[in-house]
Structure formats: C-alpha cells, structure tokens
Structure 1
Amino acid sequence: MAGKEGKGAVKDSRINPFEDTVQRLRETFRTGRTRPAEFRAAQLRALGRFLQDNKQLLQEALAQDLKKSAFESDLSEIILCQNEVDLALRSLHSWMKDEPVARNLLTQLDSAFIRKEPFGLVLIIAPWNYPLNLTLVPLVGALAAGNCVMLKPSEISQGTEKVLTEVLPQYLDQSCFAVVQGGPKEAQQLLQHKFDYIFFTGSPRVGKIVMTAAAKHLTPVTLELGGKNPCYVDDNCDPQTVANRVAWFRYFNTGQTCVAPDYILCSPMMQEKLVPALQSTITRFYGEDPRSSPDLGRIISEKHFQRLRGLLSSGRVAIGGQSDESDRYIAPTVLVDVAETEPVMQEEIFGPILPIMNVRSLDEAVDFINRREKPLALYAFSRSQQVVNQVLDRTSSGSFGGNEGFMYMTLSSMPFGGVGLSGMGRYHGKFSFDTFSNHRGCLLSCSGLEKLNDIRYPPYSDWNKQLIRWVLGPKSCTLL
C-alpha cells in the first residue's frame, strides 16, 4: 500500500492492515537506532535531498492537485520545507542538549536538568490544501526529535500523495519510517493502533475523532485545526493597502488556507471604499478574466466545489461569483449584506469567497469575535497602533496579524497552532522539536555524602522542621 515492495510497504490484511508496519517501527525504536544525533542528522539531510532532487516532480504534483503555479509551489511548500530542514540541521545539537534548571539548597550538590527524549512511534496525518508543507514540516520535527514515524498523506491530493508514497521512502531509513495510503476507512483502522504521539492537521470535526481514538490509549496529540478567522478593518485605514494585503492572503492557494482571513468586519462607510479597492486589486492580480490567470489555482475536488458554490447564495455578490464545474473554478468573490446566520458565516469557507459584515464600532467587532469560537488566526488593520493593540489585547486566537496577513507562517522562530476549537499544540522550528520530544525532568545525586541527608529523615525535631522549611522556602530557590 505504501512505497515500493520491500521498502516500507504496508502489507494488505483484512484483519489489521497496519499491524506489521506498526510492529516493525516500534521494534526499531526499541533498539535505540533513532536516538543518536548523527542518525537524526542523516535523515534530515536525506529529506533535504528529496526536496532538491524532486523539485520538478513535486511542482507537477501540486499543479495536478491544486493547479498551483511553480512559483506558488516553491513559495508556500518547497522553500518552507527546506528552511525547516536547514534550521533543524543547524540547531540539532543545541536542541538536544540537556537543559540545566535551578536548584534549591537541598539539591545544590546534585545535577538537575531537562532531557529531551523521543516519544517513540509517532503518527502524522496530513491534509490536502498544502499537501507537501503540512506533511513534511511536522516530519522534520519528528525526525529531529529521534522518533520513528508513520506518515499518512491526504488521499484527496492524489498527485502529491503518489510522490510521497513512492519516492520519499527511497530517501529515508525504512526500518524507522513508513508512508501509508488510504481514506477515512484506513485512517480509522490506523487510529486503532497505539502510538506514542499523534500529530493531526485537518478539520475540527475529524480532530474530535482523532482525539477520541487517542484517548483510548492516553496518547498525547497535537491538533492543527481551522475555524473562521476574523479580519477587522478600522475606518482609519487606507482602503487600497488593506485591499492589496487582504486579497493576496484570501485568494492565495484559491482561498484553501486554514489561516486565511475568513470574513471582514468593518463599518458601512469603510465597506463603500473597500469594495471598489478590492475590485481594483483582484483585476490587477488576476486580470479581467481570473479564470485564465496562471496565478489562480482551482478547488481541490468536486465535493468541495459544490460546497463552495452553495455558499455563493449567501448575502449579495459584489465582486466575482462566477463558477465552472467542469474546471472546478470559482472566481475571487466578495459578498456583502451578509447575515450572521447565513451558511457562509457558519462554517469555515476554505475557498476564494470573502464575506463582509458591518459593525458600528471596534467594541461591536470585538464582541462579535468573542461570541464565537476562538479562531486559528485573527487580523486587524488600522493606521492607529492603539486600535490594533486593542484588538490584540481584547481577543484570543492561535496567531495574530496587525496590518499584515499570514506572513508569520514564514517565521520558523514563531510558534504556530490553534486554541480552543481551532486546535492545540504548537510547531515550526524548535517548537516542532519540542512537540515531538518528551521533556524528562532528571535529578542525579551522588551515592555518598549520606550524612548530609540526615536533615530530611524522621524523626523530625523542631530544629529540623524549621531548617527544612527555610531550605525549601521561596527565598532559598525553586520549590521542588
């Protein structure tokens, strides 16, 4: 089912199709093969070679799946993955070092530290919208942390899945790495197995299924989910600047981005200025006929196309609205006169549709945002830094952009993840390494000098009690 015969392939079995692979990877981890820094670095270098050797093949696969241009594939997928590999290789030894911690007077002669050790066998379940980036970036963290990995790409992005299944295993050590294929049925069979960590990117609905399955084995999880990301536009703004930035982030990857602005909140006065500015921007970006633009992709599948076309009936179409089922094309669209109760405001859009809702004030916008589930991302545009800071201070989200879109996704120094319904856990850069590592608190004491320990043994005299309280008190150092 995965990879080439004899190279990490998963044997077909009606009873338990993944049993052999799970057992093989778990046995490899027990040998300690993946723990040395040299082995981890070798796997990371191999992953980097996979990206370099197969750049054109990956671009073709992404074009097949999402009609991504080669430039967009480089920008949002290949380069970001390579950056993560390069950072992990540069930083691996420092990340792996034991981290000393403060001691109190009772432990002054001991060694106290945090050791980052691999969890063991981890499962990564990836989505289809950025099928390379959202598969390999977690993989970098899992390999850097010294784990064995079972990787399940999305079956919906078939072209990319094929490359990851047939080509990637040729680069990595298949005694500790495997790719598995399949849809929801196979994913449910996979989740019946006990893993030491599960990393899932997808919808909140499926995230609940993953978390339920993980709970049966008390397996820790990272859930990178989605949600409706608000974008507040203050009256004190340059409409054209806002239009440029919002349109690029909304229609990038044809809107199939979990951190894209999902709706705009602004006053009726700002809407009157913003709509023509958005029209101007869309024309400048994609031409008079966006369908012929080489920079606008397509909807991933017929199912998602039909769902999005149904959302076009919400509110009133101010820009775009055209669609073509044969090409899975939906034009960059702006909706106005949208009610909160309409479908386009009740579900994550995940397509090139941008609704605008009117609010009378910043307070009303903040109240609207806080009445809903916490989003994966939140954006605020204003010439006033005070307004931007108010939105930041009075709301909660996984990430925040002030006068900017999701450029924070390019920063490996920044943690990425959701909060509440939009997910749990963080990754990117060192945060990925930490996510896939067990932070093990360690205290090493010498076997001699036992006389010094008499103070802590009963029976306790009044003097002993007073001394121990003082030694363990806040003025001494950290309380154990």
Structure 2
Amino acid sequence: MKRDITQIIRMQRTFYETGVTKQYRFRMKALERLEHALEVYEEELKQALKEDLNKSPSESYMAEIGLTKSELSYVKKHLHKWSTPRKVPTPMAQLPGESFIIPESYGVALIMAPWNYPVLLCLEPLIGAVAAGNCVVLKPSAYAPATSAILKRMLKDIYPEKFVAVVEGGREENVMLLEQRFDYIFFTGGVSVGRMVLEKAAKHLTPVTLELGGKSPCVVDKTANIEIAARRIAFGKIMNAGQTCVAPDYLLVHKDIKEELVGCICNELVQMLGENPLENSDYPKIINQKHFERLLHLIEGEKVVTGGHFKAETRQIVPTVLDEVSLDSPIMQEEIFGPILPVLTFQAKEEIQEIISSFEKPLAFYLFTEDKEMEEWALRTFSFGGGCINDTIMHLASSYLSFGGVGYSGMGGYHGKESFETFSHRKSVLKRGHHPDVTLRYHPYTAAKDKIVRLFLK
C-alpha cells in the first residue's frame, strides 16, 4: 500500500507539472463532471448513507448531497472571477509600475474526511481544491465503508487517478499518507488526530486546514421566542443523531424560563420523531459500538428529563435531555457528539461568561435572544468559529459564509470563495517600468535623499 500511495503522489506531481489542472476550462469541466456524477449516483449515495448511519433519503439530500450540489453551483458561477489576476494599488514610491495578485494552486493536496457527513465533508473540500487547480488525494473515513466505496467508484468514473485519487483504509493508511510530502493538507475530525496531522505536516512545512470541534454552547435568554428556540435546538441536536461537529453541545438557559423551554424541547422531539424514536425508520444510528458505549456512559448517573433508553442491536439512542448537570460531570468534559443535551442555567451575563470561558474556544456558538444589547455583548465577548443568532446549524449551509474553527476547534476555513482561497496561494507581483528610475534607494545615501524618502514613507 505504501508503494501504491507513493506512486499515486508521484503520478499526480507529474500531471500537475504539465499545467493542465491550472487551466480554467479544465477546472470548469472537472466541476461539471462532478455535478453530473452526483445526479447519476444520488440514489446509491443515499443507500450507502442509510447503511452507514441509517440516514433517511430526505436528510441525506438536505444535509449532504443537496448542500454539495449547492456549493458546486456557487463555485462554478464565480470561478472565472476568482481565478482572474486581481489588480491592486501601487504605492507612489513604486511608480511607474503596476501591482497584481495571481491565485495559484498549491500542487498535490491531501483531503482527510470524517465519517459523520461522509459525502459532504469529502466533496466540499474537493470542490475547492479542484476549482483552485490542484491534484487531490482523497481519504474517506473507514467508519463509513459503504459511502467510501461509492465515492471511490464515482470519482474513479469521472477523474483519472493522476488528477483525483481515492485511498481507502483505516489508521494504517492515514499514517502512511501523512508520512508523504503534500503541498496542502485539509483535515476534518477530532482534536487528537488533528494534532497528529499538524505534527506530521510540520516535518515538510506543509500548510494545513484543521476542521475540528468542541463543546458548542447554546444560550437562551429570557427574551427569546421559546417555541422557535425549542424547535430549532431540537433540530440541531437530533440531526444525524447529534453526530454533527456544530451541534449544540449543551444548553445554557436563563433560570426563569428553563422549565418552559425544556418542556417545549421535549414536545418538539415527539413532534419530529414520534413517541418512540426507536421505531422511526428515519432516525439515524450511532456510527459504531465504541461511540455507542461512550455515549451511554455519559448518561449514567445524570438526571434524565426525557429519553435515556436505547436499542443495542441498531446502536440507536433516544434523544436525551439531562437536567441539573454539573460542570464536573463526565458529559461536560468532552464533546458529546451524540443525541444528548445537558441543561445548565444562568441568571446573569457573568455566569454565561464564566461557564463558556471554562472550555476551549468552540466551533459554533448559538444565542437565542430578542435583546439587541445581549446579542452585541455575546458577539463581542466570545471567540468561536461561527454560529447563529436565533437558530442552530444553518450557518454552515451558506456558501457566502466561511466555515471553520479557532483555537482548539480548528484553523482555516472553507465554503464558497473561502474554499477556493484555502487551496490557493495568492502570488503577489509588482511590474515596474524603466523610466524614470528614481535614485533615492541607491547608494550613496545623503541627508537630502533621507528627507525625500521620509516624505514617501510615513
């Protein structure tokens, strides 16, 4: 396998050096082929997502295939403008001349994708890498084998391996890939593996984007529309059975409205999934036994308001709301990544700040409020990757908004133009004329020259 990986990378470097992938027409046709392939393979991808995660066809389209198509359409529409050299002002001291910036692909990029959204989080970074003119080695997650297999077959049908290659496998293949020299690495996953990616990339000084996670808070103050907040919080928590990096990790609600809000959330869960979600054919499952058991352990010893039961044969856990949770509880010590919602309360802003600041900077932040001052205070006070006011999750569905983390929740971003720029180096060029050739910068230096230089450089 190591020989195969090395051979793929060598083959891609050779192809990249021909300059073909940098041509606008080539990139546009590559995106069009992917767009067509998504139409052809849509049903197979839905079936694979059902097998790997028990996602319904509706959720598979809404949260994966449809979002990928939307991103493709947006990138195609703007690619010509983004890829055109951009003129910028030239300082007076450098006249006559002109300055411009050329977007330039990095070369051979590695994209390492996770299992929770195995279509979306493979293909959205791929769109950016191809649009920018790179060759790509794509590594899907071994935890979603059915989807990985379909993606490999689909991409092999439309792209030669010298341009886009899919490498399947688990930890061993990940390690072998990271031993290679790439020109860019894009990783989506957990903090521990992200740290390893960064360490391996440092060996070759390879630039990296890390899309990680963390404990994303959901704050609800007493001015919020409780009915809307409950519905949107429930939606954000149960999508993909909570296995979403930007799912609301814990609820921080004003003490005066806690009972009402929690009651509404419980009602919304019944409205969405029925009285027994374990009998709902559209309710996703936990990806594997290890994560299933981890989540059950996090519920142990906590006060369960609703849920708490499960079906071991299918690895499904009923959406669970926990009350009176302590910051010292095991469930508050790690990202939950499952359909469990701990509830904490506050009375003053200072308590919100104290609780949220006790964790690393989150990937997402959600605030439900009708108080403009509260909104401005929260946005000014907290650092986070991205988020919503009066909603959850939906910010990641926009090609106009960059998606990415900060601190332990990641570095770098993508979506829309940001995807193109992530996989592009901006090459700066100053083109000078010959005359006049002002002698101020040349030796010998004199007091008179110094005075003139100070007029320009201040």
Report if TM-score (shorter chain) is over 0.5.
yes
Q: Output one character per residue of 1:191-220: Cα deviation in whole Å (capped at 9) or x when no partner.
A: 000000000000011100000000000000
1:54 maps onto 2:50 in alignment: no
In structure 1, C-alpha distance between the alignment counterparts of 2:136 and 2:437, rounded to whole Å:
46
Alignment of 1:38-187 (within 5 A): 38-187=25-174
SS in 2 for 1:87: helix
In structure 2, C-alpha distance between the alignment counterparts of 1:420 and 1:82, rounded to whole Å:
30
Q: Output one character per residue of 1:318-377: Cα deviation in whole Å (capped at 9) or x when no partner.
A: 110111111111001100111111111111111100000122322201221122100000
Q: Which 10-residue stretch deviates more, 83-92 or 128-137?
A: 83-92
In structure 2, C-alpha distance between the alignment counterparts of 1:395 and 1:112, rounded to whole Å:
38
- Paired-residue identity, %: 41
- In the other structure, the counterpart of 1:22 is 9
For structure 2, the residue ranges without an aligned partner over 5 or more in a row are: none
1:462 maps onto 2:442 in alignment: no
Identify which of 305, 324, 331 aligns with 1:337.
Answer: 324
Scaled by the length of structure 2, the TM-score of the pair is: 0.98
In structure 1, C-alpha distance between the alignment counterparts of 2:160 and 2:134, rounded to whole Å:
12
- In the other structure, the counterpart of 2:228 is 241
- In the other structure, the counterpart of 1:352 is 339
Q: Output one character per residue of 1:399-445: Cα deviation in whole Å (capped at 9) or x when no partner.
A: 12111111111110000000000000010000000000001111112
RMSD, matched Cα: 1.2
Alignment of 1:144-293 (within 5 A): 144-293=131-280
Contact 2:89 2:98 (C-alpha < 8 Å) held by counterparts: no
Contact 1:247 1:281 (C-alpha < 8 Å) held by counterparts: yes
In structure 1, C-alpha distance between the alignment counterparts of 2:350 and 2:39, rounded to whole Å:
50
SS in 2 for 1:167: helix
Contact 1:104 1:472 (C-alpha < 8 Å) held by counterparts: no
Contact 1:67 1:297 (C-alpha < 8 Å) held by counterparts: yes
1:296 maps onto 2:283 in alignment: yes
Q: Which 10-residue stretch deviates more, 170-179 or 223-232?
A: 170-179
1:471 maps onto 2:456 in alignment: yes
In structure 2, C-alpha distance between the alignment counterparts of 1:191 and 1:311, rounded to whole Å:
33
- In the other structure, the counterpart of 1:3 is none
Q: Aligned residue pairs: how many?
A: 458
In structure 2, C-alpha distance between the alignment counterparts of 1:354 and 1:169, rounded to whole Å:
41
- In the other structure, the counterpart of 1:9 is none
1:453 maps onto 2:438 in alignment: yes
In structure 2, C-alpha distance between the alignment counterparts of 1:392 and 1:314, rounded to whole Å:
35
In structure 1, C-alpha distance between the alignment counterparts of 2:301 and 2:363, rounded to whole Å:
23
Contact 1:398 1:416 (C-alpha < 8 Å) held by counterparts: yes
In structure 2, C-alpha distance between the alignment counterparts of 1:237 and 1:436, rounded to whole Å:
40
Q: Kindly provide the amino acid, as one letter, of the partner of residue 468 in structure 1.
A: V
Q: Kindly provide the amino acid, as one letter, of the partner of residue 433 in structure 1.
A: F
User: Offset at 1:386?
Assistant: 1.9
Identify which of 371, 374, 383 aligns with 2:370.
Answer: 383
Task: Label 1:174 to 1:189 Cα distance change in 2 as closer, same or farther (>3 A).
Answer: closer
Flag as ranges the 4+ runs of structure 1 deviating above 3 A: none
Contact 2:8 2:162 (C-alpha < 8 Å) held by counterparts: no
User: Offset at 1:17?
Assistant: 4.1
SS in 2 for 1:18: helix
In structure 2, C-alpha distance between the alignment counterparts of 1:167 and 1:266, rounded to whole Å:
46
In structure 2, C-alpha distance between the alignment counterparts of 1:452 and 1:468, rounded to whole Å:
15
Contact 1:43 1:173 (C-alpha < 8 Å) held by counterparts: no
Task: Label 1:120 to 1:250 Cα distance change in 2 as closer, same or farther (>3 A).
Answer: same
User: Offset at 1:136?
Assistant: 0.3
In structure 2, C-alpha distance between the alignment counterparts of 1:359 and 1:17, rounded to whole Å:
56
Q: Which 10-residue stretch deviates more, 49-58 or 231-240?
A: 231-240
Q: Kindly provide the amino acid, as one letter, of the partner of residue 212 in structure 2.
A: L
In structure 1, C-alpha distance between the alignment counterparts of 2:341 and 2:252, rounded to whole Å:
11
Alignment of 1:423-462 (within 5 A): 423-446=410-433, 448-449=434-435, 451-462=436-447
User: Offset at 1:314?
Assistant: 4.6
Contact 1:124 1:198 (C-alpha < 8 Å) held by counterparts: yes
SS in 2 for 1:414: coil
SS in 1 for 2:453: helix
Q: Which 10-residue stretch deviates more, 456-465 or 202-211?
A: 456-465
Contact 1:234 1:362 (C-alpha < 8 Å) held by counterparts: no
SS in 1 for 2:343: strand
Contact 1:151 1:179 (C-alpha < 8 Å) held by counterparts: yes
For structure 1, the residue ranges without an aligned partner over 5 or more in a row are: 1-11, 474-480
In structure 2, C-alpha distance between the alignment counterparts of 1:214 and 1:176, rounded to whole Å:
22
Contact 1:314 1:335 (C-alpha < 8 Å) held by counterparts: no
In structure 1, C-alpha distance between the alignment counterparts of 2:355 and 2:144, rounded to whole Å:
35
In structure 2, C-alpha distance between the alignment counterparts of 1:372 and 1:472, rounded to whole Å:
45
SS in 2 for 1:175: coil
- In the other structure, the counterpart of 2:303 is 316
Q: Kindly provide the amino acid, as one letter, of the partner of residue 155 in structure 1.
A: A
In structure 2, C-alpha distance between the alignment counterparts of 1:398 and 1:95, rounded to whole Å:
24
Alignment of 1:355-434 (within 5 A): 355-434=342-421
Contact 1:314 1:342 (C-alpha < 8 Å) held by counterparts: no
User: Offset at 1:83?
Assistant: 1.2
Q: Kindly provide the amino acid, as one letter, of the partner of residue 440 in structure 1.
A: K
